[in-house]
Amino acid sequence: MDLSVIIPAHNPRDDYLKRVLAALRGQSLSKEKWELIVVDNRSERPLAAAYPLDWHPHASHVREEKLGLTPARLAGIARCRADVVVMVDDDNVLFPDYLETALRLAGEYPFVGVWGGQVVGEFEDPDNYFARHYPESFTVRSFAGNHWSNRKRDYAIMPIGAGLCARRSVLQRYAEVCTADPRRQLLDRTGTRLLTCGDLDIVFTACDIGLGKALFHELRLTHLIPRKRLSEEFILGNAEGNHYSATLQNFLVDGDIPGRRPTAIQRLGRLYRLARMTPLQRRQALAAERGERQALADMKNWGWLAGRI
């Protein structure tokens, strides 16, 4: 098996998941060369009955009862057999050559451990204000050329979860880290909570074992974005969740603890920056601060900071 595809799904939207599977069915890479693992993350309606995979010779359904994107991914990682793995969300429609291109790039760039590509946004309501003015809030990204780096926190070159490609050696090490320290499983989405740093944890793992990360413009997928997400509430929730999970991650990875009392100059600088923002940017910044404060409070309540502060 040359490549494995893992789809974690929790109560997926029916028409979206059908499009995701149809796009996989139409991949240019021969089905004899890749396997498909659909991980049902405690969906109310079991996915195995609703989405038959008899069209693929190497496909299986897996049920994971522990709720959360990370436990679902770990269940898929435990079962994959190929040296190259592609993570596909239940709203990611891959371009027809995605798997073939991902496999080719794995051979051409052996020093890269994780890689991703361009994300085209398909908005259910394309005329929506947030769809037109804030597409980056919905993981839409476009770029020219190929870019790679082995600097862990080089955020300009950071693959995201949508269509994330990784070597199995990276994912096996990531699974070992998550098993040794289950707190790492708290960094990504659980149900409807908008946490986002599980992807970064996989990327950081690649850098930790001496491999790089990359963005390749040849890789393209379509992100299906429902009307219910096109709201200020979602954008603010995403900002809060991102900084919440980033605060946990920074502590777990580097031991960083936020919350030191700012100086008078720092307080004035914050007020100046907020004053220069648009109203929505200001609300995003304040939501991010709430996420950081909540993370710090939770870490204290969980006993993570005992003897530290």
For the chain, what are the domain ranges?
3-229, 233-301
The predicted model scores a pTM of 0.93
Span 3-229 CATH architecture: Alpha-Beta Complex (3.90)
- Answer yes or no: are the C-beta atoms of 119 and 182 closer than 8 Å: no
Closest CA to 140 of 152, 150, 130, 148: 130
Q: CA–CA separation, 188 vs 270, rounded Å? A: 28
β-bridge pairing 188-190 and 165-167: unpaired
Q: Which long-range contacts (CB under 8 A, 24 or more apart) does 103-108 make?
A: 103/2, 103/3, 103/29, 103/33, 105/165, 105/214, 105/216, 105/218, 105/219, 106/165, 106/167
| % pLDDT > 90, the chain | 87
Tell me the three-class secondary structure of 87-128, residue by residue.
ECCCCEEECCCHHHHHHHHHHHCCCEEEEEEEEEEEECCCCC
**Mean pLDDT of the region 149-155:** 91
Q: CA–CA separation, 211 vs 50, rounded Å? A: 39
Q: CA–CA separation, 8 vs 25, rounded Å? A: 17
**Mean pLDDT of the region 179-207:** 87
Helix (H) or strand (E) holding 145: none
Residues 107-121 pLDDT 10s? 999 999 999 999 999
Closest CA to 229 of 129, 149, 147: 129
pLDDT at 192 over 70: no
User: Is residue 191 very low, low, confident or very high in pLDDT (cuts 50, 70, 90)?
Assistant: low
Buried b (16+ CB within 10 A) or exposed e, 200-237: bbbbbbbbeeebbbbbbeebbbbbbbeeebbeeebbbb
Closest CA to 90 of 17, 41, 198, 21: 17
**What residues does 213 pair with on adjacent strands?**
114, 149
Please give the structure tokens belonging to residue 174: 């990531």
> What is the sign of the dihedral through the CA atoms of 133, 134, 140 and 143?
positive
Q: CA–CA separation, 204 vs 55, rounded Å? A: 36
Residues 201-237 pLDDT 10s? 999 999 999 999 999 999 999 999 999 999 999 999 9
- Answer yes or no: are the C-beta atoms of 90 and 17 closer than 8 Å: yes
Phi-psi region of 250 (alpha: psi -120 to 50; beta: other; left: phi over 0): alpha
pLDDT at 137 over 80: yes
Secondary structure (3-state) at 69? helix
Please give the structure tokens belonging to residue 28: 């240019």
Q: CA–CA separation, 104 vs 284, rounded Å? A: 39
pLDDT at 307 over 80: no
